[in-house]
Amino acid sequence: MASAAVAVLFFSAIPGNTPTAAPTPPSKPNFVFILTDDVRKDDLRYMPKTRALLEAQGMQFEKAFVSLAVCCPSRATIMRGQYAHNTGVWGNGYNGKPDGGWQGYVNHGNEQDNVATRLHNAGYRTGLFGKYLNLYSGTTVPPGWDDWFAKLTEEEVFNYYVNDNGTRKFFGNSESDYVTDVLSRETQSFIDDSVTTGLPFFAYVAPDPPHEPAIPAPRHEHAFDGVKAPRLPSFNESDVSDKPSPIRSLPLLSQAQVAEIDAHHERRVESLQAVDELVEAVVNKLQSKGALDNTYVVFTSDNGWHQGEHRIMSGKGTPYEESIRMPLIVRGPGVQAGTTTNKLTLNTDFLPTFTDLARVTTPEYVDGRSLRSVLEGSAPSWRSAVLLEQRSFLGIRTSDDRKYIEYGSGFKELYDLKTDPYELNNSYNANSSPADLASRLQSLKGCAGDACRAAEWDTMVISTLPEANATAVAPTANVTATFSEDMMPSSITGKTFKLFEKGSTTKIAAAVTYEASTNTATLDPTNFLQSGVTYKAVVTTGAKDVAGNPLDQKPTTPDLQQKAWFFTVG
């Protein structure tokens, strides 16, 4: 392990984290998961090595998001594959509350079952290097980790402590103690040792920069002198009267504040250079050990960062794109080099992706879904919405670039990002509210497991009239099906929306129409329905959304599933 000026053994014993003895087939892939801190998607422009070694050699995700854009909740979600309302972690701090920081994570039992324990128990050699969770006490090594090198102080890049497999070590202020470089060396050592053992490995690498105060390595100071923060159209937004009250109360940024934003951006960019070098060093180490071709290297961030957009001088935790939209690049076996996907992905997806690729059972509690089919270019249909959540708001972000936010105060926001990508014009109108998004948000906000995947999925029937198993339905009733998103009108016909008497294969004559404003199809029978008869309504997989994705009523099954329900006329 790395040298240090001070080393003190912890009093508590290290849990037995030796990998299971059962032999593991060598064909199981390795994983190196690089999780940066506060990196925006557009920060990748300053990381040429990462782009050359990962982006050009793998897949870039254009629509990768986090559901709660704050460090600890996002990291808890990554560890568990769950939304914050299921991990129980809503903030960075604890302060006696059960839902914040490392202690909140522990209080909800999350340390006992997560991506590390699942892979460890399946024979993987696991290692964490860098930031764990906010306010981690540093006195324990959590279950499931075979090599533990967790930073205790969250922001310092010099003069900091780590828990090195149960030993408290201090790193000083020499250039070699710069935290990102130390983590790079530790990760490379872990790869060396893992390849020697012959076990598949999972490395969770979490450098601090560019998190505030964003101190670069000495060799990178002045590397980007004079670089300015992005000047998006939303930078120092001139009119914020359509935004929630905390933003409405913000004055225009002063020249001094803009200069401070630029100075901080310069430090952020310079501090990212060591992270860029870490990526290069890890890839080179994998290559030199003959492990690169069987290793998935994943690069992402826990949340984004505001730099003057909507007058927000700094910070995160908002529902705006600068805060929730992440860089995500994956290189690995079966991933075609230089590819890009627009599939909507979320930080709930990492755990099920790793377990799926490792051929390990994915726990039922997981809310996310495996990215395997996306990485292999074989995902015919995919989710079309994700939940955004915070203590102060709930929202939904869709694959067709709509965003709807409900605040606890009652204030609401609605954006069409296709025409307003910088969220300048809140188009919410109480007289024409987005009923489809509001309804879907209700399904998402308390979902768990399969219910989350169903509520997120591409094309589904989310409500019907008559309802399933309804009785005493009027003979004059029409049959309606409301979809989860905008449908291709030409696909909603008598061939895809049909009505039968139960047990019969003869279709009942009817006219079928589609109302785009409500995403609702209506089947109007030519003749009155018969009293005492049970009917079966069917929407087939031939019904498609505007992107051409077919209806799939049960997204957790491998095959497309139609929607069918019964009702009885009174």
Q: Any idea which residues carry the catalytic annotation?
A: 71
The CA distances from residue 565 to 355, 366, 371, 466, in Å, are 35, 28, 31, 9
Asked whether 543 and 497 are in contact (CB, 8 A), the reply is yes
Report helix, strand and coil shares of the chain as percent, to nearest 5. Answer: 25, 25, 50
Which DSSP string corresponds to 85-145? HHH---BS--TT-TTBHHHHHHHTTGGGSSHHHHHHHTT-EEEEEE--STT--SS---TT-
Tokens of 246: 């905390």
Asked whether 567 and 473 are in contact (CB, 8 A), the reply is yes
User: Cis before residue 466, ω within 30 degrees of 0?
Assistant: yes
Distance in angstroms (rounded) separating the CA atoms of residues 463 and 138: 49
Tokens of 287: 């290559």
Q: How many C-alpha atoms does 22 have within 13 Å on its Cβ side?
A: 7
Nearest to 59 by CA among 444, 435, 478, 343: 343
Distance in angstroms (rounded) separating the CA atoms of residues 421 and 416: 7
Tokens of 412: 């609401």
Q: Are strands 520-525 and 510-515 parallel, antiparallel or unpaired?
A: antiparallel
Q: Which amino acid is located at 249 in the chain?
A: S
Distance in angstroms (rounded) separating the CA atoms of residues 307 and 314: 5
Tokens of 144: 């499931």
Q: How many helices (H) does the chain have, and how many strands (E)?
A: 13, 26
Distance in angstroms (rounded) separating the CA atoms of residues 73 and 131: 13
> In 258-380, where do the E strands start and end?
295-301, 325-326, 329-331, 339-341, 345-346
The CA distances from residue 528 to 80, 465, 478, 481, in Å, are 52, 16, 9, 19
Cα of 390 vs its chain's centroid, Å: 14
Strand (E) or helix (H) holding 458: none
Distance in angstroms (rounded) separating the CA atoms of residues 568 and 474: 9
Cβ burial of 312 (10 Å; 0-12, 13-18, 19+) is: buried
